[in-house]
Amino acid sequence: MDDSDQVYDDEMAILNNNATTTSSISINYKPHAISLFLKNNPKEWLIQEKKKNINVKYSDVWNVFGEPSKINESGVYIIIEGFASCLKCYKTYIKKKDTGTNPLRNHSCFKKYMLEKKQHEQLKNMTSQATTSLITSSSSSTCNFKFNPLSKYGLVIKSTKLTSDEKNKIKEATVQWLCQSMRPFSIVNDIGLRNVIQHTISLGAKYGNIDVNSILPGRAAVTEHSKIMTNIHRENLKSNFAELQMSKSLTIIPDLWSDKFNTSSYLGITCNTVDSDFSHSSFDLAMYKYTEIDKKAENIASAMDKALLPFDINLSNTNVMCDRGSNFVKCFKYYDPLHCYAHRLNNVIKKCFFQNQKKRTTDASASNYITPATTVAVNDILNSSNDEDSCDEADDEYVPSIKLKSKRKSNINTSRTRKTNSSMLAVDHMKLNVSELPIEAREYLIKLKEAGLNDEIKSMASVSLKQSTSVRWLSLINSLQSLHRAYKATKKVLQKHDRRIYINPDDLKCGSA
């Protein structure tokens, strides 16, 4: 037994012998012992919030501290006089009238609380404080003010015409930044970047020409402040979600995706809401690394509960939209989910273009034998349909109808021919890799890729041909749309290079519908 256990036992014996039925207890013991009681015996000890009088102004320390109390024989918690305990870490201090709350202000939890409170107030008042001088000067009728989307942040934007030399300097600085840091050109249109720049300009108007390093925070500061803003927005969302769930106008859309490079899976949740004014909004609610052992329904449900717990979302009062993957269907079967039509449309297109139809032949022996490579592919497809299917791959599953013989002759010709053996199988080509596609399809893709005429087609039709890939969502529809828009230009380019195209343009209209 260590010293802390001995202190705990000794103090517990003293308190048990001196228990009273009054509203408070005054016993001579150490603050450290009370901290141990609060940690180790929560059934008999707790911290009560300070009882406040409406007409009296209290210190901020009582938002972090409370009064320790112990249950008596009647089951009533009695306050221990002369002490104050932290609501988070149970650290207990002696409270004296001559010192007041000064000793409590040095506690680490209180300092952290005051820092977060200060940052929260600065976050709310930052915009109005930064633009005070601009708003004051706006009373002049000679000034032209332009209201743009940034005005929703409280910014009054003054329209100023820069000289050509000044504009060129801004352009040069922007190009140097993008090229040196390898940033996409589209980042200059980002509303967040423009918002930050506008804030810095407002501060410059207030304080003059100041060093940018004294304004822009570093990586560590931004990371730490993002946690504070996350907590603030999460609390706001919780209150909004509570109202939306009462009218069942909150919809969540979960999805699983995998990063094959890092061999990691992630659970993403998109949120759609409709408020009392029938205003629709959609945003990404959460993105968590999927840490469950597999992607079975019960494990997905567990991951969903963990992800939705910070927002107090009850699935019973929430609309759920998901794909038709067997794991998602089983996971949300009790919540009457809506199934995503985008997956269905995508799979309809894939079935139309990548599904070989079963051909009839008089040669009965041809239907009995298949090549070894095809056998492996078909077996993989048959065995891949389980409760861990990914969201889009398991949607609208197709079961091949052919029966594979367990025994086959040893003199099978395994050479690559264009016989109809593979076409006899109703294989789900949605799950095939490029190397497992039929020979005709592979040759068609190879010819398109080797032609190297995409740049010429793009210069003529202003549209480049997009190739369908299994790792890009809805890439097949995009591929068909690009070919439909550039069909005439593609045909002219192929004819120019003495090539032919055998595609009916009417067959491409389904991709652009």
pLDDT confidence band for 468 (50 / 70 / 90):
low
> Which has more pLDDT, 504 or 68?
68
Span of 278-287, 331-340, 419-428, 498-507 with lowest mean pLDDT = 419-428
* pLDDT at residue 251 tops 90: yes
With tokens 């003293």, the residue in question is: 14
> Which has more pLDDT, 343 or 317?
317
pLDDT for position 471 = 52
Radius of gyration of the CA atoms of the chain, in A? 34
pLDDT for position 344 = 81
The number of CA neighbours under 13 Å toward the Cβ of 116 is 17
pLDDT for position 43 = 82
What is the enclosing helix (H) or strand (E) of 47? strand 45-48
Q: What digits encode the pLDDT tens for the residues 338-356?
A: 888 877 887 787 777 765 5
Structure tokens that stand for 248 in this block: 């069942």
pLDDT confidence band for 137 (50 / 70 / 90):
very low
* pLDDT at residue 398 tops 80: no
Quick one: CA torsion of 307, 310, 316, 321, rounded to 10 degrees?
-40
DSSP string, 339-398: EPHHHHHHHHHHHHHH-PPPPP-S-GGGGT---HHHHHHHHHHHHH-STT--TTTTTT--
Q: Tell me the pTM.
A: 0.43
Compute the average pLDDT of residues 72-95. 84
pLDDT confidence band for 143 (50 / 70 / 90):
very low
> Which has more pLDDT, 81 or 123?
81
What mean pLDDT is reported for the chain? Answer: 71
Give 351: exposed, middle or buried? Use CB within 10 Å, 0-12, 13-18, 19+: middle
pLDDT for position 185 = 92
> Which has more pLDDT, 47 or 443?
47
Give the torsion sign (CA, 447, 452, 456, 462). Answer: positive
With tokens 């995706």, the residue in question is: 257
Q: Where are the domains of the chain?
A: 3-110, 132-214, 224-339, 343-439, 452-512
CA distance from start to end of the chain: 78
Question: Which residue type occupies 431?
Answer: K
Do 465 and 457 contact (CB within 8 A), yes or no?
Answer: yes
pLDDT for position 171 = 92
Compute the average pLDDT of residues 304-308. 91
pLDDT confidence band for 212 (50 / 70 / 90):
confident
- Which stretches of 260-293 are assigned E, i.e. beta strand? 264-274, 280-289
pLDDT for position 267 = 93
> Which has more pLDDT, 124 or 199?
199
pLDDT confidence band for 467 (50 / 70 / 90):
low
Q: Distance between CA 47 and CA 68 in Å, rounded?
A: 4
* pLDDT at residue 254 tops 90: yes
Q: Distance between CA 351 and CA 429 in Å, rounded?
A: 8
Q: What digits encode the pLDDT tens for the residues 2-51?
A: 454 444 444 444 444 444 444 455 556 678 888 888 888 888 888 888 77
Q: Distance between CA 212 and CA 197 in Å, rounded?
A: 11
Percent with pLDDT over 90 in the chain: 10
* pLDDT at residue 501 tops 90: no
Q: What digits encode the pLDDT tens for the residues 408-422?
A: 544 444 444 444 444
pLDDT confidence band for 392 (50 / 70 / 90):
very low
Span of 270-274, 323-327, 401-405, 497-501 with lowest mean pLDDT = 401-405
pLDDT for position 303 = 92
pLDDT confidence band for 473 (50 / 70 / 90):
low
pLDDT for position 82 = 81
* pLDDT at residue 245 tops 80: yes
Q: Distance between CA 111 and CA 92 in Å, rounded?
A: 16
* pLDDT at residue 127 tops 60: no
Percent with pLDDT over 70 in the chain: 61
Q: Distance between CA 241 and CA 234 in Å, rounded?
A: 10
What is the enclosing helix (H) or strand (E) of 258? strand 250-259
* pLDDT at residue 507 tops 70: no
Compute the average pLDDT of residues 171-186. 92
Q: Phi-psi category of 363—alpha, beta or left, where left has phi over 0 and alpha has psi -120 to 50?
A: beta
CATH code reported for the domain at 224-339? 3.30.420
